[in-house]
Amino acid sequence: MEDCIFCKIINKEIPSNIVYEDENVLSFKDINPQAPIHLIVIPKRHMTSVLEADSKTVGDIFEAINKIAKQEKIDKDGFRVITNCGKGAGQTVNHLHFHILAGAKLDEKMC
């Protein structure tokens, strides 16, 4: 989708601080972090939300999250994975994405 900011990041039209990339998934640091470590994980194929996700895409994303957690050394202390689906849930970018939050004790109410 040509006006999607995440698609522009995937196509390297907008700079980002990439922490992980493979043929299907890209992860980068959030520009407005909500925790000491706040990463965004996205499929390279555009889909609006989890409602459009297929099992292969979800599998690719969670395999990447596993690798990212180990790479960023957050696998031992713990981390949170969040996705929002739709405007009412707080989704602000209409490209399926997951947030990884870590680096501090996370408030149970913080999502």
- Active site residue ranges: 97
Question: What is the distance between the terminal CA atoms of the chain, rounded to a whole angstrom?
Answer: 27
Residue 42: exposed, middle, or buried by beta-carbon count in 10 A (0-12, 13-18, 19+)? buried
Strand-pair partners of 99: 40, 82
DSSP one-letter code for 65: H
Sheet of 98-102, strand order: 18-21, 25-29, 37-43, 98-102, 80-82
